[in-house]
Amino acid sequence: MNIAKVIVDVPASSINQTFDYKIPEQFQDILTVGMRVIVPFGPRKIMGFVVERTGESSFDKLKYISDVLDLTPVLTDELLGLGKWMANQTLSLYITAFQAMLPQVLKAQYKKELERVTEDPLSDELESLFAGRDFITYEELEGSTVSYSQIQKAVQDGDVVVNYLVKSKITKKHVTMIMPNREPHLLEEAIEDLSKNARKQKELLSFFIDNQQEIEQSVLIKKFNTTSSTIKTLLDKELLASTRKEIYRNPYDDKSFEQTTALTLTEQQQVTIVPIKEHIRDEKHDVFLIHGVTGSGKTEIYLQAIQDVIEKGQEAIVLVPEISLTPQMVKRFKGRFGSNVAVLHSALSNGEKYDEWRRIHRKEVQVVVGARSAIFAPFENLGIIIIDEEHENSYKQEDQPRYHARDVAIFRGENHRCPVILGSATPTLESFARAQKGVYKLATLSKRTNEKEMPKVNIVDMRNELHEGNRSMFSRSLKENIEQRIQRGEQIVLLLNRRGYSTFVMCRDCGHVNECPHCDIALTYHKNSRQLKCHYCSYEEPMPTSCPSCKSDLIRFFGTGTQRIEESLTQLIPEARIVRMDVDTTRRKGSHEKILNQFADKEADILLGTQMIAKGLDFENVTLVGVLTADSMLHLPDFRSSEKTFQLLTQVSGRAGRHDLPGEVIIQTYTPEHYSIELASNYNFMQFYKNEMSTRKTFQYPPYVFLALITVSHQNHVKVVQSAQQIAQLLLNNISNEGTVVLGPTPSPIARMKDRYRYQCMIKYKNEPNLRTLIRKIIRQFDDEVRKNDLLITVDMQPYQLM
């Protein structure tokens, strides 16, 4: 078994296979599958993952592995399998899939060092290697007689650790701990022997007579207002001892979370949790969809299910959308499970992320709460996987590997034979349809835990406002209500739904939106050519100068930012204290929390923001939620635009009246009759589901069909068009099923990005078992173009962003 099969770090489809290397003598005992190695590849040395050890190779003249980067595997067998599956599913490279599962620090270039972390004697060889030092470079090990397996054993025993030095910044933090080195009565004797002047020394020794535990040196110095040289004196006398201890950069102060205990579940919660607990107990996989209105206590169900998992000695992954990973959410998990929880999200520094990852890797925690990539947590004994707000788009990665965390969760749930829980007040059509068919198990929570009604929703027709001379972004009713709440000392959440704001064209008089006659999709305004285009079928028409429906000349695309809204709001209601939350105000680390704290402390009356504020927030004093423009998302060139609008309106409405004070919602819109707005205002998910499903059926969109999106881009327009046409033709010639449709090529909605022209082909299919193989084959034909001529082809087997 002296040959390793390695996936090397060369991101090219022609290299997407294992390469065989011989394992040098000194690595034979330590090298296992899932470790990273350095191997010669052509003239260079590059990184790779060992995916198999074997005794034979069909090649002769194998090269040797140059170095082994890990002493314990960074990818478990399960994750290696997952990586291969994911690469196949998403048509990405194995190396890309593997790297997506690891923290950034392990992908970067780094140097290594070995650190001695015990005072106990090591083996003679190790002692002479360290030669009295705490740190040695990895190169010294390589040049010594000490074998790798000796070091590996020392690492496993906890005597030595490997440190990765990223860009010369140490990735771990250490502190010196001081502890007594003698029995208390011997310390007493020592105090007697000290001279009168050694006051500090005496104080320190008496402290340790009462406290036998170790204490951080810096804390000790502060506590006794002493110096490290005083401590050193006692260390030299061997009355005290010291060790260096690694501490994790924990972004959260675990002790600051108030501990909570399980609440008595409501009847609906009880009915929901029973089968989940049974699955945990019986180690049985199934997917549960919890459809629960906002405030119905889904999170409490997660917490109590996790409790069972922890008691069984197993582990839990909880995914929450990035933007709702607010301190409020973290508090609920840390409050219940304390430091047994690791938190992973993008606002952490690379070092912090690495530390949290290592706490998982070393099984020092049983729960991870995190954004999308936390689904790859290297747990080996999973008891449950939970995806909160399962409808959120952020669970889909929009970069290779273009995976959806829901699919990964189900894959891992099957592997570990554990339940997967999807929760949402507004499930995706895909998930709800599966639940209707019995593929997922559906549970419904129709009531809030406090039995309070959902807040009443009033729809304001902005066309009327315009007709009556109000041209501002604020209806009279919204303005009056805001003023009234401010007077009462209550608070307001205002949502400016900004996404895709100026891409479609609308008549401000009648609300008319130009749509494609063949696709039931709003046309996209292309500024350069002043044309309206359908990006599904290439239909186009010139930008009209007057409304085709009512002849008004107030037809236009208009854009408004939160900053401008804030200004006009200040003019309109000068007494209002406003905090604004959008990408501009939350760029700095911690600013997100700061704004929310300000609002929670009632330093502001109004929280004005984009989509970011729609989810997860729970402020007891909020009694009014206003949506400035419910339509802005409705006409995006995306067949999911109605669904997204419904989801957003329902979520944001759920922020009002969550506690004692009753809540109210005002939705401003130019198209009050649109079913997604009307049904969201009645909280009528079922009717929305039915309407939307029938639209999807008529126009053949998911969940009735699957989609695949191929995008081609290049600086040269002609080249893009030609390549895209070739691809479309190859697809058409080779698809096996008559029902499969190839649309395009058409220009992408964003037709030119970073000086590159973009074209796309969309494939709609029900049953096309060889589609992935076919696409891979087609793309391989363009390998040369891609490598030499900078052609870019991306494939998304489950597109959510159609831009």
Ligand X SMILES: Nc1ncnc2c1ncn2[C@@H]1O[C@H](COP(=O)(O)OP(=O)(O)OP(=O)(O)O)[C@@H](O)[C@H]1O
Minimum CB distance to Zn ion, residue 743 (Å): 9
Scanning 49-57, 261-269, 594-602, 691-699 for contacts with ligand X by CB under 6 A, the matching segment is 261-269
Whether 754 and 739 have beta carbons less than 8 Å apart is answered as no
Whether 514 and 648 have beta carbons less than 8 Å apart is answered as no
Scanning 93-101, 369-377, 537-545, 732-740 for contacts with Zn ion by CB under 5 A, the matching segment is 537-545
In the bound state with ligand X, the residue whose beta carbon lies nearer, of 296 and 669, is 296
269 near ligand X, judged by CB under 6 A = yes
Minimal CA–CA distance to 107: which of 325, 373, 340?
373
425 near ligand X, judged by CB under 6 A = yes
In the bound state with Zn ion, the residue whose beta carbon lies nearer, of 21 and 536, is 536
Beta bridge partners, 57, equal: none
Minimum CB distance to ligand X, residue 266 (Å): 5
Q: How far is residue 555's CA from residue 364's CA, in Å, rounded to a whole number?
A: 60
387 near ligand X, judged by CB under 6 A = no
Residue 747: asked if its preceding bond is cis (omega within 30°), the reply is no
Q: How far is residue 524's CA from residue 605's CA, in Å, rounded to a whole number?
A: 37
Q: Which of 5, 36, 298, 396 binds ligand X (CB under 6 A)?
A: 298
Residue 691: Cβ within 10 Å count? 17
Q: Which of 48, 73, 180, 295 binds ligand X (CB under 6 A)?
A: 295
Strands 456-461 and 382-388: unpaired
* CA dist list (Å): 446 to 297, 443, 643, 692: 10, 10, 20, 21
Q: Which one of Zn ion, ligand X, none is in contact with 310 (Cβ closer than 5 to 8 A by kind)? A: none
**C-alpha 43: how far from chain center:** 37
Q: Which one of Zn ion, ligand X, none is in contact with 266 (Cβ closer than 5 to 8 A by kind)? A: ligand X
Whether 280 and 411 have beta carbons less than 8 Å apart is answered as no
Whether 388 and 320 have beta carbons less than 8 Å apart is answered as yes
Q: Footprint of ligand X on residues 36-55 (CB under 6 A)? A: none
Minimum CB distance to ligand X, residue 37 (Å): 45
What residues contact residue 577 under an 8 Å CB cut-off, 6+ apart? Answer: 603, 604, 605, 606
556 near Zn ion, judged by CB under 5 A = no
Strand ranges (E), 345-471:
367-370, 382-388, 420-424, 441-445, 456-461
Scanning 223-231, 295-303, 503-511, 620-628 for contacts with ligand X by CB under 6 A, the matching segment is 295-303
Q: Which of 265, 442, 661, 792 binds ligand X (CB under 6 A)?
A: 265
Whether 623 and 664 have beta carbons less than 8 Å apart is answered as yes
Minimum CB distance to ligand X, residue 305 (Å): 13
Q: Which of 616, 657, 702, 745 binds ligand X (CB under 6 A)?
A: 616
402 near Zn ion, judged by CB under 5 A = no
Q: Which of 36, 334, 404, 512 binds Zn ion (CB under 5 A)?
A: 512
263 near Zn ion, judged by CB under 5 A = no
Q: Is the dihedral of CA 97, 98, 101, 106 positive or negative?
A: negative
Scanning 15-23, 405-413, 473-481, 552-560 for contacts with Zn ion by CB under 5 A, the matching segment is 552-560
167 near Zn ion, judged by CB under 5 A = no
378 near ligand X, judged by CB under 6 A = no
Q: How far is residue 168's CA from residue 164's CA, in Å, rounded to a whole number?
A: 9
**Which x/- pattern, by CB under 6 A, does the window 621-660 give for ligand X?**
---------------------------------x------
Residue 680 corresponds to which tokens in the numbers above?
């969201």
- Residue length, the chain? 803
Q: Which of 230, 366, 449, 711 binds ligand X (CB under 6 A)?
A: 449
761 annotated as ligand-binding: no
Minimum CB distance to ligand X, residue 635 (Å): 27
Minimum CB distance to Zn ion, residue 522 (Å): 10
Q: Which one of ligand X, Zn ion, none is in contact with 298 (Cβ closer than 5 to 8 A by kind)? A: ligand X
Angle between helices 228-236 and 217-224 (to 10 degrees): 110
Query: What phi and psi values does residue 459 have, to the nearest 5 degrees?
Result: -100, 130
Q: Which of 68, 341, 507, 680 binds Zn ion (CB under 5 A)?
A: 507
Scanning 74-82, 257-265, 551-559, 726-734 for contacts with ligand X by CB under 6 A, the matching segment is 257-265
95: left (phi over 0), alpha (psi -120 to 50) or beta: alpha
Residue 798 corresponds to which tokens in the numbers above?
């489950």
531 near Zn ion, judged by CB under 5 A = no
537 annotated as ligand-binding: yes
In the bound state with ligand X, the residue whose beta carbon lies nearer, of 269 and 314, is 269
Q: Footprint of ligand X on residues 274-293 (CB under 6 A)? A: 292
547 near Zn ion, judged by CB under 5 A = yes
DSSP labels, 639-708: TTHHHHHHHHHHHHHTTSS-SSS--EEEEEES-TT-HHHHHHHTT-HHHHHHHHHHHHHHHT-TTSSEEE
418 annotated as ligand-binding: no
Torsion of CA 565, 567, 571, 573, to 10 degrees: 60
Minimum CB distance to Zn ion, residue 512 (Å): 4
In the bound state with ligand X, the residue whose beta carbon lies nearer, of 273 and 628, is 273
Minimal CA–CA distance to 656: which of 449, 422, 486, 490?
490
In the bound state with Zn ion, the residue whose beta carbon lies nearer, of 45 and 518, is 518
Minimal CA–CA distance to 337: which of 368, 372, 298?
368
Minimum CB distance to ligand X, residue 658 (Å): 7
Q: Which one of ligand X, Zn ion, none is in contact with 425 (Cβ closer than 5 to 8 A by kind)? A: ligand X
In the bound state with ligand X, the residue whose beta carbon lies nearer, of 71 and 293, is 293
99 near ligand X, judged by CB under 6 A = no
Q: How far is residue 204's CA from residue 211's CA, in Å, rounded to a whole number?
A: 10
Scanning 22-30, 298-306, 505-513, 586-594 for contacts with ligand X by CB under 6 A, the matching segment is 298-306
**Which x/- pattern, by CB under 6 A, does the window 391-420 give for ligand X?**
------------------------------
Q: How far is residue 686's CA from residue 680's CA, in Å, rounded to a whole number?
A: 11
Indicate the burial class of 122 (C-beta count within 10 angstroms; 0-12, 13-18, 19 or more): middle
500: left (phi over 0), alpha (psi -120 to 50) or beta: left
Q: Which one of ligand X, Zn ion, none is in contact with 537 (Cβ closer than 5 to 8 A by kind)? A: Zn ion
Q: Which one of ligand X, Zn ion, none is in contact with 295 (Cβ closer than 5 to 8 A by kind)? A: ligand X
Q: Which one of Zn ion, ligand X, none is in contact with 265 (Cβ closer than 5 to 8 A by kind)? A: ligand X
Minimal CA–CA distance to 256: which of 322, 334, 360?
334
Minimum CB distance to ligand X, residue 425 (Å): 5
Minimum CB distance to Zn ion, residue 537 (Å): 3
34 near ligand X, judged by CB under 6 A = no
Residues engaged in binding Zn ion (CB under 5 A)? 507, 509-510, 512, 516, 518-519, 534, 536-537, 539, 547, 549-550, 552
Residues engaged in binding ligand X (CB under 6 A)? 263-266, 269, 292, 294-300, 425, 449, 616, 654
Positions at the binding site for Zn(2+)? 507, 510, 516, 519, 534, 537, 547, 550
